[in-house]
Amino acid sequence: MGHPPLVEGLLDPQAYPEEERPGTVEMLETHISYLFFTGRYVYKVKKPVDFGFLDFTTLEKRRHFCQEEVRLNRRLSPGVYLDVAEVRERDGGYYLFGPGNAVEYAVKMRQLPRQRAMAEMLRRGEVQEEHLRALATKVETFHRGAESGPETARLGGLAAVRENVAENFAQTETYLGVTLTTEAYDAIRAYSDAFLQAREDLFRRREREGRVRDCHGDLHTDQVFLLNDIAVIDCIEFNQRFRYSDVAADVAFLAMDLAYHGRRDLARVFVDQYIERSGDQELRDVLDFYCCYRAYVRGKVESFRLDLPSLQDPQREGVLARAVRYFALAREYARLVKGPALLITTGLMGTGKSTVAQAVAARLGGQVVSSDVVRKELAGVAPTERRYEPWGGGIYGERFDQQTYGALLGRAREALDQGTVVVLDASYRRAAHRQQVRELAQSMGVPFFALEVVCPEEVVRGRLAAREAAGRTVSDGRWELFRRQQEAFEPLTEVPPEEHVVVDGSLPLKEIGYHALRALYLKVLGNPQCPQPS
């Protein structure tokens, strides 16, 4: 697909002033700009697009944001951002000099040597710890002098973070199954929303302490050039909500991108040096949250690039791979349950325990052990063979109950020994059985949570009837047994509140994974015995 006439015009070396006329012009297209590289200079032309979070749809807006880009980026790279140039039309052509009507505007920059970009140097293994210490010093000095105050805090504080996070998820739904799995999407969203709720006081305190400032907003390794005087380019000019932020969001962006390039060691050096300079020890408490947020933003931006009509197949493969990797990294930061953990479902038949167990396990990268399957294995019958036993009889009698719950404990131990998150899917109506699992978790030093699944009775009755009509199913639950189980169910008084997670099993199937994990993460964030964000 061809480019617009103005773009084709600026690819012609004759469009440039004689004193800087290049032999050839190279062009890079992003989802919001065209960049023209002449060897000495770069001219950036903004596309007439509206993504909601930015609006370049009128010439006046594009001129304004070109001016803002020059003004704001001179804070960190004064010798790089030179001017705003007019693109003039005459005789059917487009020029950056001479007479004609101004039909577009371009940011004029000094072209920096690509081989000195941190991302390129990382690929060659040339980035050293001293580079990160110098960069951390530069960034911390910049942050210390950056604008702050009530208006900055209002535009970049907790409310803005919530809006940005929600916007991220709204804008990436279309990429589910392309660059992002549903399980990762739900897990990252659950973590983000739970963290914002559980740590509201922390965000508010950092606002009051002046940690929200007029920052860079897009501080990753492609934007840093390791020259004699480190240059940091291309800050966010088009939306104050993205640029006004906690300083931790800038620090996290670079730390995350270093991790993306496989250099978590350099990320630690950068963060440690920044904290040493700033004295902001509390930054570590929000670092993983902002790393997750920034990785998700990068995955989103790479996904946007897949929609460029000019993107060719070889390029598409690289863009796709980068988007997938960034989303995977965001999910890694979002894992509040890190390492082995032991969870049980508990509740009445038909409430949705198995659905919750499968959804939570999938989003935590764990496995499910089903009491229905184990029970029938012990009985020597097929998993889907229906057994119409009376309450407390046959394979649902006391002896089989003890064998089944004992086998669940054994399989849980095996899974935990392998470092796995395991969800035991059963009714766990007896406190003694629940306590056995809790004691196993304590003896192995892993987190324990009881997921109590609740559901309105009319929904349960409909589900059990549908299950009965379907015939082949693992569960033998029936409405005529529901009241007996309800009467025999022992309340979870032995489970401490911080380990007791209530899940609404009546939610639509596509929502239940997110809601269950969000409820779980709220408990994790409120439990000092669980691993917390580093």
Bridge partners, 86 (sequence order): 105
Backbone angles phi, psi at 285, to 5 degrees: -70, -20
What value does the CA radius of gyration of the chain take, rounded to a whole number of Å?
A: 29
Q: What is the DSSP letter of 111?
A: P
For the purposes of burial, counting CB atoms within 10 Å of the CB of 3, is it exposed (0-12), middle (13-18) or buried (19 or more)? middle
Question: CB–CB of 18/95 below 8 Å?
Answer: no
Same CATH topology for 116-333 and 341-526: the answer is: no
Quick one: pLDDT band at residue 385, thresholds 50, 70, 90?
low
CATH of 116-333, one of 3.90.1200.10, 3.30.1440.10, 3.90.1150.10, 2.60.40.10: 3.90.1200.10
Distance CA 143, CA 274 (A): 10
Residues 47 and 30: their CA atoms lie apart, in Å, by 9
Q: Which residues contact 485 (CB under 8 A, 6 or more apart)?
A: 348, 349, 391, 427, 429
Token pair recorded at residue 333? 């930061």
User: What does the pLDDT read at residue 355?
Assistant: 95
70 touches 81 (CB < 8 A):
yes
Q: Tell me the residue ranges of DSSP E strands in 183-300.
A: 212-214, 224-225, 231-232, 244-246
Kindly state the average pLDDT of the residues 497-506. Answer: 96
Taking the domains of the chain in order of start, what are their residue ranges? 5-111, 116-333, 341-526
Judging by DSSP bridges, how do beta strands 341-346 and 500-504 pair with one another? unpaired
CB 25 within 8 A of CB 36: yes
Is residue 293 helix, strand or coil?
Answer: helix
Give the CA count within 13 Å in the CB-facing half-sphere of 353.
26
Structural fold of domain 341-526:
Rossmann fold (3.40.50)
Residue 477 pLDDT class (50, 70, 90 cuts): low
* E strand or H helix that includes residue 422: strand 421-425
Are the C-beta atoms of residues 327 and 299 closer than 8 Å to each other? yes
End-to-end CA distance of the chain: 47
- Decide if pLDDT at 423 tops 90: yes
Spatial separation of the C-alpha atoms in residues 75 and 185, rounded to whole Å: 36
pLDDT of 480 > 60? The answer is: yes
Per-residue pLDDT tens over the stretch 424-450: 999 999 999 999 999 999 999 999 999
In sequence order, the β-bridge partners of residue 50 are: 55
Q: For strand 224-225 and strand 212-214, is the pairing parallel, antiparallel, or unpaired?
A: unpaired
pLDDT digits (tens, 9 = 90+) for 37-55: 999 999 999 999 998 889 9
**Secondary structure element (H or E) that encloses residue 295, with its range:** helix 283-305
- Tell me: pLDDT of 479 over 90: no
Local confidence band at 455 (pLDDT 50, 70, 90 cut-offs): very high
Please tell me what DSSP assigns to residue 339.
S
Report which listed range, 94-103, 368-377, 474-483, is most confident.
94-103
Question: What is the per-residue pLDDT across 303-344, written as a single tens digit (0 to 9) for each?
Answer: 999 998 878 888 899 999 999 999 999 999 999 988 999 999
- Structure token digits, residue 357: 């167990």
d(CA 187, CA 518): 8
**CA–centroid distance for 91 within its chain:** 50
Full DSSP string of 53-115: S-B--SHHHHHHHHHHHHHHHTTT-TTTEEEEEEEEEETTEEESSSSSEEEEEEEEEEPPPGG
Confidence of residue 398 (pLDDT cuts 50, 70, 90): confident
- CA dist 311 → 172, 304, 314 (Å): 19, 11, 8
Q: What is the 3-state secondary structure (H, E, C) of 111-174?
A: CCCHHHEHHHHHHCCCCCHHHHHHHHHHHHHHHHHCCECHHHHHHHCHHHHHHHHHHHHHHHHH
DSSP-assigned beta bridge partners for residue 46: 33
For residue 454, list its beta bridge partners. Answer: 504
Question: Amino acid letter at 508?
Answer: P
**What's the pTM value of the predicted model, to 2 decimals?**
0.87
Report the pLDDT averaged over residues 361-383.
87
The model's pLDDT over 508-526, given as tens digits with 9 standing for 90+, comes to: 999 999 999 999 999 999 8
Query: Which residue has tokens 């504080």?
Result: 157
Q: Strand, helix or coil at 93?
A: strand
Average pLDDT over residues 189-210: 96
Q: Is the pLDDT of residue 261 over 50?
A: yes
Q: CA 302 → CA 219, 255, 311, distances in Å?
A: 16, 19, 12
| Residue 240 pLDDT exceeds 50 | yes
Residues 230 and 135: their CA atoms lie apart, in Å, by 7
The DSSP letter of residue 112 is P
